[in-house]
Amino acid sequence: MSQGDMRRGEMRRLACLFLLLSLLPAAAPADERRSGSDFMSAETRAMQKDDTANPAMLWVQDGAALWSRKPSAEGKACADCHGDAATSMKGVAARYPAFDAEQRRPVDLATRINICREKHQGAEPFAAESDSLLGLTAWLGLQSRGQPITPDPDPRAEPFREAGRRLYEQRIGQLNFSCAQCHDDNAGKRLAGSVIPEAHPTGYPIYRLEWQGMGSLQRRLRNCMTGVRAEPFAYGAAEMIELELFLMSRAAGMTVETPGVRP
Q: Catalogue the active-site residues.
A: 224
Is the distance from CB of 70 to CB of 77 less than 8 angstroms? yes
- Per DSSP bridges, beta strands 105-107 and 98-100 are antiparallel
How many angstroms from the chain centroid is the CA of residue 246?
12
Dist CA 8 CA 14 (whole Å): 10
Query: Does residue 26 sit in helix, strand or coil?
Result: coil
- Per-position DSSP letters for 42-107, written without gaps between them: HHHHHHHH-TTT-TTHHHHHHHHHHHHS-SSSSS--HHHHH--HHHHTTTTGGG-SEEETTTTEEE
Neighbours of 228 (CB within 10 A): 19
Residue type, 190: R
Instruction: Give the angle subtended at the CA of 227 by the CAs of 41 and 160, to the nearest 5°.
Output: 95
Which residue(s) pair with 260 in the sheet? Answer: 206
